[in-house]
Structures are given as structure tokens and as C-alpha cells.
Amino acid sequence: MKRTSAAKKAAKKGKRRLPIKHWSHSSLTAFLRNPLAWYKRYVEEVYDNPRTPASVVGSAGHLALENFYSGIPKELAIQKGLEYLRGVADFELDFGRAKSRKAKREKRQAMEAEYLRAIGFYLARPPRHKVLGVEVRGVVEVEGLPLPLKAISDLVVASRAEKGAVDIVDHKFVASFSKGGAAKSMFVIQAIFNYYTVREMFGKPVRRFIVYECKKTKNADGSPQMRRYEIDFKKHAQDFKVFHRLIHDATEEIARRRVYLPNPSDMFEGDNSFDIYRLELVEE
């Protein structure tokens, strides 16, 4: 891939080359939350942090839906997700307080039960779409941005809101429904990453970003286990301007010489980032 104009300008000014080749929703979120943890994963490419049970259950659910929307029968799709979950090794999991062999076995059983319950909720009445693409991955250059953008779209479907356009569908398995719904900032940022990659790869107008949240625990009041949020890109012109400014500012930050400081309050990677800082494992 050709170097972007920002990278060329940086080289001409004698600055260091940018440490990453592209931005993604996950890498940008990680940088904003915990720059030192971001540096370890996206610059040094060290992926040794154990995964939470919730993230593994979510990945299993995504795999099941990937198979289901690819045309595989529901029961087989569910089995594919279960096989994935069972294939994750113990050393890859953060068992929390479960230290003994028995406790870890019980935690795994609870993960399987949670997965089967959640995917069962989703597939009881799965949303129907004219699917054009499943697990669509892309890295594209966007005019005016200093680095390419990378995104993975769970589904690309024919839009029911605009003839000839496409919608992007994203699935999330959650412990509780998101506050703010479609107005949630992180939904909008993720949506714009996917907008640019799908627009380039499909060559069609991209109208909406649709999020289906599936709550993993059964609602005691019998209310629906699924919620649908919709971002209509025609109504978010201002958010695109903010997105471009954010990408430019984040790129400026990683381009300059800096000391990467930990964020001990980060509930996911705070301790790990502080250990890296304490042991002086990252050079300036």
C-alpha cells in the first residue's frame, strides 16, 4: 500500500514514520482509553492478555451468526460457535477468582450455558435481510485522512430505506442494553469506520448502520431480549466532521515523540499497562 500524504510530509520534515499502518475502531478506542496498552497491542503487536469469558462468549455468538447468515442450518451454526468456545485454551482465559481446576471447569460450563442461552434468544426470531456480504473485511484510503481505515462488518445487506443502497448490520451480545442507543458516541464512530470500508468495497451508497443488541440474561419481566438501534448516515453529517478531526488529532498524537503513560483505572487493561510502565518495557 502506498504511503499516505501525511506520512510523506512527516518524512520530509524529518519526523519519525507513523507507528501504525491504519486506524480501526478497536485501535482508536484502545488509544483513547489507554495509550500504553494500545502501544503494546497495535505497535509492538503483542497479544498476550487473557480474554474475558464475556468476550469469548461474544466471539462464539458472532461465529454462529456468521455461519447462519452464510446459509448454514441454525442447529449447525450453533454447534460451530460451541466448538469455537470449547477450543479456547485455559491459558487464553481470564478466570478471575476461579483458580482451582474445579472452579475453572464450572466457569467454562457457565460460559457454555450463557452462550447457548444468548444465541438461542437471537435465533428464536432472527432478523431477516437480503445478505450481500458476511464478515466483510476491508482496509481503504479515505480522501482527507492521514491513514487508511480498517473495519469488519458483520453483515452487508440490501437497504430497505433506499433502493440501490446497502445497510451495515452489527451484532452485539451484552450483559445490559446500551444507554443512549443510536446516539451513543462509540456506535457512531464504529459506524463511520464501517461506512467508508463498505462504500469503497461495494461501490454503492451506504444508508444505515444497524445494531442488534442481544441481552445474554433472560429479562425477568418478559420484555424482548433484542434491541435494534439505527444510525441513518444522512442525518449524521456533523458526526463525519468530528470523526475526521478525531482521526487527524489521534494521528498527530502518535506521530510526535512521546512517553506512553499507563491508565491504572482502565477496568480491562489498567493493571497490565501499569506493569509495562513499571518494568520500563516501552522505550520513548
Same domain, 9 and 58: no
pLDDT confidence of residue 264: 60
Q: Are residues 163 and 254 in the same domain?
A: yes
DSSP for 119-180, written as a single string: HHHHHHS-----EEEEEEEEEE--TT-SS-EEEEEEEEEE-SSSTT-EEEEEEEEESSPPTT
The whole domain housing 277 covers: 1-47+130-284
- How far, in Å, CA of 99 to CA of 115, rounded? 22
Mean pLDDT of 70-74: 97
Give 264 or 48, the one with higher predicted confidence.
Answer: 48
pLDDT tens-digit series, residues 228-273: 999 999 999 999 999 999 999 999 999 988 766 665 654 455 455 4
Domain boundary among 124, 154, 172: 124
CB 211, CB 182: distance < 8 Å: yes
Query: Does pLDDT of 48 surpass 60?
Result: yes
pLDDT of residue 194: 98
What pTM did the predictor assign? 0.84
Lowest mean pLDDT, pick from 28-37, 187-196, 272-281: 272-281
What does the pLDDT average to over 192-221?
A: 96
Pairwise pLDDT comparison (192 vs 99), residue with the higher score = 192
Looking at the structure, tell me whether residues 153 and 255 fall in a common domain.
Answer: yes
Same domain, 161 and 240: yes
- Given 124, 145, 178, the domain boundary residue is 124
- CATH code of the domain containing 267: 3.90.320
Same domain? For 91 and 120 the reply is: yes
State the average pLDDT over residues 26-44: 90
Q: Which of 89-103, 124-138, 170-184 has the lowest mean pLDDT?
A: 170-184
Average pLDDT for 77-102: 94
Do 255 and 136 lie in one domain? The reply is yes
Asked whether residue 119 falls in the same domain as residue 143, the answer is: no
Q: Does one domain contain both 89 and 226?
A: no
Give just the sign of the alpha carbon dihedral 156, 157, 160, 165.
Answer: positive
**pLDDT for 10:** 43
pLDDT at 262: 62
Pair (145, 73) in one structural domain: no
The count of other CB atoms within 10 Å of the CB of residue 21 is 14
Higher pLDDT, 220 or 198: 198
Residue 163, pLDDT > 80, answer yes
Domain count, the chain: 2
Mean pLDDT (the chain) is 87
pLDDT of 25 strictly over 70: yes
